Amino acid sequence: MKEYLTTIVARSPRHTATNVMREYLQARVLEVMQERGAWTSLAFMGGTALRFLYSIPRFSEDLDFTLESGGDSFDFAGLLESMRARFVREGYDVALKVGTKTTVNKAFVRFVGLEHELGLSPHVDKTFSVKVEVDTNPPPGARVEMTTVRRHVTLRLAHHDRASLLAGKISALLFREWIKGRDVYDLVWYLSDPDWPPPNEELLAGIFAQSNRAELGVDGAWKAALRKRLETAPWDHVLTDVERFLERDTDRWMLERDTVLDVLSQRGLGP
């Protein structure tokens, strides 16, 4: 399997090679999770779920999950140790940093020297990390589906459905401290598809209640709040946040504020 990684990175354009490496490692992490039966309790969500399930044309950085059931028996540290052991058997130099003291369990699967080995860095000891997060107290209302996909390996993934994924993206745009370009790109990608369902209102209500902003769920108040946030938020960093993850440089127009506001209007989320 390591030989396969070497081959696909060597064949990739220089500007996408690191993203290709990361995505392969993400796929292998998901494979270990699948083999450990993680989908009996976890659901895949976020930008990387969009990439694996729906082939959004941007790479993604983190693996994000919600704990949907089996909280008492969920063993995050044990799951990560299984990942480490698998990669070590295949010849990788891997270390873990795992944190389970907060509601969102976080881990970094660290690959020491891999970028140098693949010709992506001159630094022998440079560490590349794959980040894994699990929200152990997610808001209620998400709907979960099972889908079989192939991206480097064949996976059968439990994940939030399309309406729930969009609800999660809307909440990120409303509540993050700053507007991330990746969230903006994803929102335009979602809303430009006329067949993509509207957001899961039950999940949005759960998110708003958990964030002590229940008023946003009254009479669709979140729609005006989202538009106002996107109209007034600082925008200088939006493109720089996402451009290294774009498959196509020509997609930069999707990050223009006027484009975003126009798409909101097309989907009835503004004047």
- pLDDT tens string 2-17: 899 999 999 999 999 9
Cα angle 13, 16, 21; round to 5 = 110
Do 133 and 227 have their domain in common? no
Query: Tell me, what's the pLDDT at 70?
Result: 75
Total domains present in the chain: 2
Do 156 and 206 have their domain in common? no
Do 109 and 236 have their domain in common? no
Q: Give per-residue pLDDT as tens, 143-167.
A: 999 999 999 999 999 999 999 999 9
Do 72 and 96 have their domain in common? yes
Domain that holds residue 234: 162-271
Do 148 and 237 have their domain in common? no
Mean of all residue pLDDT scores within the chain: 96
Q: pLDDT at residue 270 above 90?
A: no
Query: Exposed/middle/buried for 111, CB within 10 Å: 0-12, 13-18, 19+?
Result: buried
Report residue 271's pLDDT band, with 50, 70 and 90 as the boundaries. Answer: low
Report residue 269's pLDDT band, with 50, 70 and 90 as the boundaries. Answer: confident
Q: pLDDT at residue 183 above 70?
A: yes
- Choosing from 133, 160, 187, the residue where a domain stops is 160
Q: pLDDT at residue 87 above 90?
A: yes
Do 190 and 115 have their domain in common? no
Query: Tell me, what's the pLDDT at 241?
Result: 96
Q: Which residue has the tokens 């993680």?
A: 38
Do 130 and 37 have their domain in common? yes
Q: Distance between CA 141 and CA 55 in Å, rounded? A: 25
Percent of the chain surpassing pLDDT 90: 94
Write the CATH number for 27. Answer: 3.10.450.620
- Choosing from 130, 160, 190, the residue where a domain stops is 160
Query: Tell me, what's the pLDDT at 13?
Result: 92
Q: Give per-residue pLDDT as tens, 55-79.
A: 999 999 999 999 998 777 789 999 9
Q: Distance between CA 7 and CA 30 in Å, rounded? A: 21
Do 67 and 168 have their domain in common? no
Q: pLDDT at residue 51 above 70?
A: yes
Do 173 and 265 have their domain in common? yes
Handedness of CA 204, 171, 209, 229 (dihedral sign): negative
Six-digit token string for 262: 């126009």
Query: Tell me, what's the pLDDT at 162?
Result: 98
Q: pLDDT at residue 116 above 70?
A: yes
Do 181 and 264 have their domain in common? yes
User: What is the value of pTM for the model shown?
Assistant: 0.95
Do 174 and 154 have their domain in common? no
- Choosing from 109, 127, 160, the residue where a domain stops is 160
Query: Tell me, what's the pLDDT at 73?
Result: 78
Do 153 and 252 have their domain in common? no
Six-digit token string for 96: 């873990």
